[in-house]
């Protein structure tokens, strides 16, 4: 499975749907995340300006066994296509942003389902780990 920023943040900070994401995570021994998506998640946590919170993200990811995958040229092309097809301004209700496109590209490249929370990826061709990922 590919872990997207929304799911990681929900799990780390016990937000709504966090427990459901954690339960789904343990059912798959192949857990990956785009390094670019992880950077996006770190921006969210670092914005809190709390060193404890900043370290919590890193420690939690390591304990959960989420492998960071480098962003490749192939993924850059897939992300570009995703933004054209599903990005803001495309007319598609997904309205993916740049960070969403990193996760989309990795899931597409590896043909893996995506662990996410939200109304965005449900309007794409990416498979969801959760039966109903809507918030």
User: What CATH number should be reported for the domain holding residue 116?
Assistant: 3.40.50.1010
Does 134 reside within a domain?
no
The predicted model gives 71-84 an average pLDDT of 98
Range of the domain at 105: 2-123
Tokens standing for residue 26: 């343990």
- Over residues 128-132, mean pLDDT: 96
pLDDT, average across residues 96-102: 97
Band of residue 20 on the pLDDT scale cut at 50, 70, 90: very high
pTM, to two decimals: 0.94
- Does the residue 115 lie in any domain? yes
Where does the pLDDT of residue 86 fall: very low under 50, low under 70, confident under 90, or very high at 90 and above?
very high
Lateral strand order in the sheet of 67-69:
67-69, 32-34, 2-3, 114-115
Structural domain includes residue 132: no
Q: Which two tokens stand for residue 34?
A: 């785009």
Average pLDDT, the chain: 96
Q: 73-86 and 98-110 are packed helices; what angle lies between their axes, rounded to 10 degrees?
A: 120
Asked if residue 96 is part of any domain, the answer here is yes
């Amino acid at each position: 499975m590919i872990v997207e920023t929304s799911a990681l943040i929900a799990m780390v900070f016990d937000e709504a749907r966090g427990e459901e994401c954690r339960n789904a995570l343990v059912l798959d021994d192949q857990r990956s995340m785009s390094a670019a998506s992880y950077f996006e998640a770190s921006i969210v946590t670092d914005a809190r300006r709390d060193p404890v919170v900043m370290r919590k993200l890193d420690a939690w990811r390591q304990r959960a066994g989420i492998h960071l995958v480098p962003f490749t040229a192939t993924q850059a092309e897939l992300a570009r296509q995703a933004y054209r097809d599903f990005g803001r301004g495309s007319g598609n209700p997904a309205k993916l942003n740049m960070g969403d496109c990193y996760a989309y590209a990795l899931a597409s490249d590896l043909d893996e389902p995506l662990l996410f929370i939200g109304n965005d990826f449900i309007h794409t061709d990416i498979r969801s780990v959760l039966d109903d990922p809507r918030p």
